[in-house]
Amino acid sequence: MIGADAAPGKGARIADWILRILLALAFIAAGGAKLAGAPPMVAIFDQIGIGQWFRLLTGTLEIAGGLLVLVPRTSPWGALLLTAVMVGAVFTHLVVIGGNPVPALVLLVLSAAVLWLRRRQLLAMIGH
């Protein structure tokens, strides 16, 4: 049996990279659409009702998280940021605007998966 502190195998490292690349691509694309003012994004944030500044903030956070998650040293912080953004997105879909929360839930699960895979790294970074 492999110990809890064992280094990840090659397969786990490849899966980690694939997951982080997919996550980064999804969030950089979504954040870019928000920052570019794509009409569907503008409409969604109009429904939220707190102003288009929130679309710009959300897009910026998504792009920042997507970039952070690509860099092995900063990927735990990116995953944490993206998980928090997606908790807010799921809540917004369920409570504020309605619509289908499944895309936000999928991105939440993927972000949380990267965070889980990088938890030891994150804990070491914060001194635990």
DSSP at 7: P
CA distances from 10 to 13, 59, 66, 109 (A): 5, 33, 23, 23
Higher pLDDT, 98 or 52: 52
pLDDT of residue 7: 60
Asked whether the predicted pLDDT for residue 99 surpasses 90, the reply is no
Cα separation, 74 vs 52, whole angstroms: 29
Asked whether the predicted pLDDT for residue 2 surpasses 70, the reply is no
Nearest by Cα to 69 from 53, 82, 84: 82
In the chain, domain spans: 10-125
pLDDT in tens, 68-81: 999 999 999 999 99
pLDDT of residue 33: 97
pTM: 0.88
DSSP string of 63-107, one letter each residue: HHHHHHHHSTTTHHHHHHHHHHHHHHHHHIIIIII-S--HHHHHH
Higher pLDDT, 61 or 15: 61
